[in-house]
Amino acid sequence: MRKTTLLVLTIFVLSVWGTGYAADFRKASLLPQWVPQAQFAGYMVALRKGFYRDAGIDLTLLRGGPENPPFKKLAGGEATFCTGWLSNGIQERASGTPVVNIAQIIRRSALMLVARKSSGILQPQDLNSKKVGLWAEHFYLAPAVFFKKFDLTVQIIPNHTSVFLFLRGGVDATAAMWYNEYHTILNSGLDQDELTVFFLKDYGIKFPEDGLYCLEQTFKEDPEFCRRFVDASLRGWLYAVEHEEEALDIVMKCAEDAHTGTNRAHQRWMLRRMRDLITPEGGPSSLGKLDPAAYDAVGKMLVDFSYIDRVPKFEDFSRGAR
């Protein structure tokens, strides 16, 4: 008699707990703006460590890449969340796609221009009339501001996926992400002291990069859900930078699955640079916050380069913690 009661009670508790859990559990997907690498370590770690699950989110991490433009996918409803540069986000918003920024992960520019010292480039002025390899679209913005600042006329050679054009001597200088291509250059046998490096952020160019976005509708329907997603993502980032080896194991697994042909040394570099980029001045409390001044600067830049006509209102755009 007592045994039966206990069994029934157990089944009841389990089923209530189970259904209760399932009731809060919401499916969602995240599309990073590029192929799996440590640039997205925080999300990979949060997923693998169950931080999203802890937040009641059944997340699917979609594979990013050139064939998956994140905002397009977001607008098309193929992804609940995406990552993207602030400038892209602003442009999307200005052009009518109702996206909102729910967190600003990389709060400054990781973009840099790299040149061989042997090509005679030692200071910004030396870039005048040189061939500079630049990626298209938004990657072009900050370097263009830089050239304008120093009144440089450079011969821009479109750069696509790799730095091999630079390594083969096709260009005198190339744009590179600090956390990615710069290390590729270093690990192609060029030493730091053989290179001249211009960090755009060092020249007063405010250009926050990776942020988390969703459609305004998603946010309006369930701001709490969006907040939980952001918190779990930030928790993932904090865990990743504090548990480097574990995070790298996770990142490497994702990279292997995507055949990106990377190596651990490269991902370690990238993770460490992400650590430098996401925890900037102001300490952990400012993690994920979008700076209105930087927003204005990027907006102005987009207007100046005729990407947009008008800068959307900050309040409409930024729905994350401020």
Binding stretches for another protein (CB under 8 A): 66-67, 157-158, 160-162, 164-165, 167-171, 184, 186-189, 191, 259, 261-266, 268-269
> Long-range pairs for 202-206 at CB < 8 Å and ≥24 separation?
203/124, 203/146, 203/149, 204/149, 205/109, 205/142, 205/145, 205/146, 205/149, 206/108, 206/109, 206/291, 206/293, 206/294, 206/297, 206/298
Shortest separation between residue 193's beta carbon and another protein, angstroms: 12
H-only helix segments in the chain: 2-24, 41-48, 51-54, 70-75, 86-94, 138-149, 164-167, 181-186, 216-221, 223-242, 244-257, 264-278, 292-304, 314-317
Shortest separation between residue 67's beta carbon and another protein, angstroms: 5
Residues in a beta bridge with 158: 134
Q: Which is nearer to another protein, 261 or 283 (CB)?
A: 261
Shortest separation between residue 278's beta carbon and another protein, angstroms: 22
Shortest separation between residue 240's beta carbon and another protein, angstroms: 18
Q: Which is nearer to another protein, 191 or 309 (CB)?
A: 191
Shortest separation between residue 33's beta carbon and another protein, angstroms: 16
Q: Which is nearer to another protein, 151 or 191 (CB)?
A: 191
Q: Which is nearer to another protein, 115 or 301 (CB)?
A: 115
How far is it, in rounded angstroms, from Cα 65 to Cα 221?
Answer: 29
Q: Which is nearer to another protein, 266 or 275 (CB)?
A: 266
